[in-house]
Structure 1
Amino acid sequence: MGLIMVTGGASSGKSEFAEKMALEYGGGSVLYIATSIPIDDEMKERIRRHRERRSEKWGIIEAFKGLKNIIISSEKKVILLDCLTVMITNFIMEKDLTGDNLLVDEINDLEGKISDEVDGIIEGALKRVGDTIIVTNEIGMGLVPEYKLGRIFRDIAGRMNMKIAEAAEVVYLTVSGIPIKIKGC
């Protein structure tokens, strides 16, 4: 299928669905790119649960930058990148862009760096032989965040999701654990 996007709300079953798809398409020939950084106990527990579900035969790389080269150089049948929105969060945390005094230039610079990374992911996925599955959160269906950084994150994530969806051959939306194909055959 090439590039596949799996989106949905938080805890909607998207990672589980993507992992089943990776196992079906790739068997033991899967590279799992984990973008999470274990910054607190909750995230450590989330990572632990994800690790328990994955096949022990899969390769794993924990990274959120330079993903194009990782994707292109992999000889695995399937690459599963989980999760794009966590990757975006890592870029924000790395710059320590907190508070309401963010300058427009800082925001534009941040989005430019994230956009370049996403463009590289797409380019790498389209160049390689095999499937690339990208998991991401659909966060634009809720309330407008009250605080500025939340609105910035939501908008950047939405634009990056649109880029991935446009390039993807197939897009799934998971709702309450049910995957719904919204693009592709």
Structure 2
Amino acid sequence: MTINLVLGGARSGKSARAQRLAETYQDRRVYIATAEPLDAEMRDRIARHQADRGQGWQTVEAPLDLVGAMETLSGEDKVILVDCLTLWLSNLMHHERDVETETARLCECLQRLDQDVILVSNEVGLGLVPETPLGRRFRDAQGRLNQRMAEASDIVEFVAAGLPIRLKG
């Protein structure tokens, strides 16, 4: 089992990179979607992602219970692509879930799984300091989540301008 973390900024090409990695597994792919279609723009974005993926994907919606979704797939001969941890974190914070507890659960789950996992996450710490306390809390939580996922991962890549840079593994 290999855990691969693909990091990058908005529109950096990280999701496309993760999808290409997963597509090497032929038709044995599961896409765990963390986005919630709360408005028209997000519904359009989700539809574009689905169209880009095409055939050969099983999709599982898990805006909050990412660990539960991954555990139901344990033992299957499929690669799991989680896109993305940033939206999952945002959902957790919006629903006032304990981020540290959920992050610890995810780390434990990743250690137990017996299939390859590709995680996608935004690197949000390279920009301006957020103006609001909520924005700063989110940025800090995202940075801590990315550090924990990088530690748990065998391979870590950073994608900039569509180009992957190997950071680990």
Q: TM-score, with normalisation over the residues of structure 2? A: 0.92
Matched with 2:71 is 72
Q: For 1:88, what is the secondary structure of its paired residue?
A: helix
Quick check: which has more Rg, 1 or 2? 1
Whichever residue aligns with residue 62 of structure 2, its letter is A
Classify the secondary structure of the residue corresponding to 1:174. Answer: strand
Q: 1:12 offset after TM fit, Å?
A: 0.2
Structure 2 unaligned regions, length at least 5: none
Task: Specify the alignment match of 1:169 in structure 2.
Answer: 154
Counterparts of 1:141 and 1:82, CA distance in 2: 20
Match of 1:38 in 2: 37
The answer to whether 1:15 aligns with 2:15 is yes
- Cα distance in 2 for partners of 1:72, 1:157 equals 23
Aligned-residue RMSD, C-alpha? 1.4
Q: Which residue of 2 aligns with 1:83?
A: 84
Map of 1:2-151 to 2, 5 A cutoff? 2-24=2-24, 26-74=25-73, 75-95=76-96, 110=97, 113-151=98-136
Structure-2 residue corresponding to 1:153 = 138
Give the CA deviation at 1:119.
2.2
Contact 1:7 1:173 in 2 (8 A): yes
The amino acid of 2:105's aligned partner reads: G
Distance 1:122 1:22 in 2: 21
The aligned length equals 167
Runs of 4+ displaced beyond 6 Å: none
More displaced 10-residue stretch of structure 1: 77-86 or 59-68:
59-68
SS in 1 for 2:130: coil
Q: CA offsets, 1:104-123, max 9 Å, x none? A: xxxxxx5xx22222222222
Q: Deviations over 1:19-39 (max 9, x none)?
A: 010111x22111110000011
Contact 1:31–1:80 (8 Å) recurs in 2: yes
Cα offsets for 1:93-144 (capped at 9, x unmatched): 224xxxxxxxxxxxxxx5xx22222222222222222211110000001111
Shift of 1:183: 0.5
Counterparts of 2:56 and 2:32, CA distance in 1: 14
Uncovered stretches (5+) of structure 1, i.e. residues with no partner: 96-109
The Cα offsets for residues 136-162 of structure 1, whole Å up to 9 and x where unpaired, read as 000001111111111010000110110
- State the identity %: 41
Aligned to 1:181: 166
Q: Note if contact 2:62-2:69 (Cα within 8 Å) is conserved in structure 1.
A: no
Shift of 1:42: 1.5
Question: How big is each residue's C-alpha offset from its partner over 1:57-98, in whole Å with a ceiling of 9 and x where there is no partner?
Answer: 211111123322322331142000000010111122224xxx
Q: Is the 8 A contact 2:93 2:99 kept in 1?
A: no
